[in-house]
Amino acid sequence: MLELVKEPDPILKQKAERWDFEQHVNAAAIEREMLETMRAHNGIGLAANQVGLLRRVFVMRLHDGREMGFFNPTILVGDNADIDAEEGCLSFPNLWLKVKRSDKITAMYLDNTGKQCIIELEGIDSRCFQHELDHLDGITFTEYVSDLKLKMARKKQRKLNG
């Protein structure tokens, strides 16, 4: 299992570099280890920089139970029906924030063999994909809320964390 990086570690604010299948030949092993780490922390998504790796890959458990890795992911199309919903993050224990995100997206990514794939996601799967993609760009969900809302959420977080 990989070590989970938590705030305020600066790697969470760094942009990840493309995954190079010729240079980084252990894609399946990284995917497996990241999924194991995600499961161990009861998550539904985990980006590489959350485990100290600055490469463009994240893993997710889709609502239908499938678990998969997304290498060099990108959003091709997003609807403009932004939905406001609560999100959490493994790197920010017990911090919950309402974030607006597209309800439906079409995304392109490479699987762990380097094969190009296109997937349509909606609801929680769309939200999770966008959250993890943000991580790869050095953006955390805390950046989507006002200072006041973040301050109030931090107060609740402190109580929950003891």
From the list 17, 67, 132, 143, the catalytic residue is 132
In degrees and rounded to multiples of 5, residue 81 shows phi and psi of: -85, 75
What are the tokens at 57? 């890959």
Q: Is 132 a catalytic residue?
A: yes
In degrees and rounded to multiples of 5, residue 88 shows phi and psi of: -125, 180
What are the tokens at 41? 């922390």
Q: Cis omega (within 30 of 0) on the bond before 8?
A: yes
Distance CA 162, CA 159 (A): 5
Catalytic residues: 132
